Structure 1
Amino acid sequence: MKTMYTLQDLLSIVQASRQELLQGLKERGAFEYEGYYRLFDKDYLLELVDFLLTNLLIHGMDIQHMSLNQAKECIREGSQEERVDIPDDLLVAMLSLFCDVADNGEIQFDRRKICRFLGEWILFNPKNKRWEVPDFLKLWSTMGHELFKPELKDIEGLYIIRETTKFQRAIQYIQYFSIQELSTDPAQRFATLFSEKPLWKLEEIQMFLTDLAPTKKQLELLLLKFARSHRQQNTVLYGSRIK
């Protein structure tokens, strides 16, 4: 079975225009290297991000005013300690996932992209772990070397929050739960959501319906068809229409 694909290979398989395919590859973090499209291993990518942020701090660089070459040297410095040589093309591909590069070579970090990657990595390792929300937020900030302030909205569509009571104290737990792993069939999508949690606030369920209902009107129609609204303590919650 073929495991490596060129752009032409993908164009012959995927029903999309060249522009749509390239956009889709970019959104998934795919990059071309030695003629083939690839994805970074998440653990390896985390290592490169850590090299970058650690050495950026060590050398007292201004994260708001860095050049592409400075960023590459920060990563190389970390990799040299482990005696690993990283090709320049891979460095550029990695930085392109998290930075915008100006014509003059200066880079602008995308806070949300870095925070989303770090947050997803924590939740996925392991994916069945339930974190107390304060513990998760603390580790998330630490992994970003506190250079970027993470917010839960950075990882929309990647988590689910459950609340339990322990010793008469409400505790919120966060766990990996990705929209990308849900069915594209609306009925199956809602069945999965309600099997995970019987009642959802609008802002909670909405982030798992963005692909099916990109507009407010479409969202209202989906909820009307597949969900039943309940009011609890001045809060509207959505549950399954199927009893």
Structure 2
Amino acid sequence: MSEYTLHFSSKRGSDDSQYKLMELPKELVHLIEKETQDQFTIRGRDDDDAVLCTADKTYNIRAVMVSNSFCVLTPPNGDEPGDAVIRATIDHILELSPSIAKLHRLRGMLRGCEYDEDSDGRGDRERRMLKVVKSELQASDAELEAGLRDMRVLVLNGELRPMTPGYLNHVLELILNTLVSLSRSTDGAPILDIIETIQSDHEISPDVSRQIMSWFGRIDSSLSAETWIMDVDAVVRQIGIGILSAYRSSSIEQSEFMKRWRTTVGDSFENRISLSLLQGNYLLTDQFATTSPALSYFPSSELPISPADRFAELFLVQPKWKAADIVPFLDDIVVDSKDKDKLLMKFARSITDKDGVTYYTSRGGTIA
């Protein structure tokens, strides 16, 4: 065994803050061992808790005290004696844990940048560039891209423009009608045919049409002509959300809503509508036996991301939830299904009625 003569650096106290040890999960170790081009970045604003982002995942960073301190050794410099110099003593390590992408502030950042038929590139408005937003949000590039798609945000010349639900519905209806009028299949429609028809007949920008089609299906470039394989359920779902979004502070009878939804998607797609497609976006009320159930718009994407605040909000608007109804409102604040179970155990109590139906209520609440 080799022996070394150790000496303490005269600057050891001031050097302590210059060194940090980070414990890497196995998946990150594998990335490093593969010597890939993936970069690790620390993202967020100065007042945010730090997160580390890879190309497609986000990790929380937490300082954890250790019982045995670590010494940082370096070769001596200049006139320093010995074989190695103790530069710093470290009594904590940085621990990484998988996290959901923190995109909650994106909607607020893009307020005033909406894109619709009255503001499609004209007039004074706030401007948010993708490069700036990326630096402020705590999410990997892949998660941010998915978030922009899920929030229906256009990227036009580097500028972010969220589409209003009404205008998005309008364009989707045009796409569906064009598919039917051109007798094109949802399993592989030529993109150019659809884009050119919509541009010619309705003056919809090709860039806008293409991005919308990429949100609601897959673009296949393997053939000589690009084709669009439509996700029918995703399109039908979005049209349902668009209709429902008009009833944020009011409600609409379920039967009337289903009728409007069916009429909007048309005969070719009406067999695909189902209320289950809208889970996590509505409240269903049936307060009086003489009335039919009513729906109101209640999107999980606009609820707090803090689990405690999320449950408080859910039980404030509805003190008693069926298990199948509350779970979709947790999808965007957990990493996996195990975390959902943990949150339900922590913030809610379950009750099973005589018919075998499980309900959740607040841990401090009572059953109505």
Taking structure 1 as the reference length, what is the TM-score of the superposition?
A: 0.85
Please state whether the residue corresponding to 1:207 is helix, strand or coil.
helix
Cα pair 1:194 1:239 within 8 Å, conserved: yes
| Aligned positions of 1:198-237 closer than 5 A | 198-234=319-355, 235-237=357-359
Name which of 26, 32, 41 aligns with 2:149. Answer: 26
Contact 1:163 1:171 in 2 (8 A): yes
Aligned partner of 2:303 among 182, 202, 205: 182
For structure 1, which segment, 53-62 or 194-203, has the greater mean C-alpha deviation from structure 2 after superposition?
A: 53-62
| Structure 2 Cα separation of the partners of residues 35 and 219 of structure 1 | 36
Aligned amino acid, residue 315 of structure 2: F
Per mean C-alpha deviation after superposition, the further-off stretch among 54-63 and 204-213 is 54-63
What are the within-5 Å matches in structure 2 for residues 83-102 of structure 1? 85-102=203-220
Counterpart check, 1:38 vs 2:161: yes
Match of 1:242 in 2: 364
Computed over aligned residues only, the root mean square deviation of the Cα atoms, in angstroms, reads 2.4
| Matched letter for residue 236 of structure 1 | T
Cα displacement (A) at 1:124: 0.9
SS at match of 1:166: coil
With over 3 angstroms needed to count, the CA separation of the structure-2 counterparts of 1:176 and 1:241, relative to structure 1, is same
Deviations 1:185-232 (A, max 9, x none): 222211211121121111011111123345443222222222122232
Structure 1 residue runs of 4 or more that deviate by more than 6 Å after TM superposition = none
Q: Judging changes above 3 Å, is the alpha-carbon distance between structure 1 residues 129 and 19 closer, same or farther for their aligned structure 2 residues?
A: same
Matches within 5 A, 1:74-223: 74-79=197-202, 85-103=203-221, 104=223, 105-148=226-269, 149-167=272-290, 171-223=292-344
Shift in CA distance, 17/204, structure 1 to aligned 2, threshold 3 Å: closer
Give the residue type in structure 2 aligned to 1:239. Answer: T
Taking only the aligned residue pairs, the percentage that are identical comes to: 28
Give 1 or 2 for the bigger CA radius of gyration. Answer: 2
How many pairs does the alignment contain?
A: 236
Question: 2:56: which partner in 1?
Answer: none
Q: Unpaired segments of 5 or more residues in structure 2?
A: 1-108, 110-124
Mapped contact 2:246–2:297 kept (Cα < 8 A): no
Check 1:13–1:102 CA distance in 2 against 1; reply closer, same or farther (3 A cut).
same
Instruction: Indicate how the Cα distance of structure 1 residues 192 and 64 shifts in structure 2: closer, same or farther if over 3 A, else same.
Output: same
Give 1:66 shift. Answer: 1.5
**Larger % of helix: which?**
1
The change in CA–CA distance for 1:112 and 1:222 in structure 2 (over 3 A counts) is same
Structure 2 partner of 1:56 = 179
- Looking at structure 1, the residues matched to 201 and 170 of structure 2 have their Cα atoms a distance apart, in angstroms, of 9
Mean alpha-carbon deviation: is it higher for 62-71 or for 114-123?
A: 62-71
Structure 1 residues 46, 212: closer, same or farther in 2, change over 3 A?
A: closer
Distance 1:22 1:189 in 2: 24
Equivalent-residue separation in structure 2 for 1:218 and 1:36 (angstroms): 35
With normalisation by structure 2, the TM-score equals: 0.58
Shift of 1:77: 4.5
SS state at 1:174 partner: strand
Q: Which residue of 1 aligns with 2:196?
A: 73
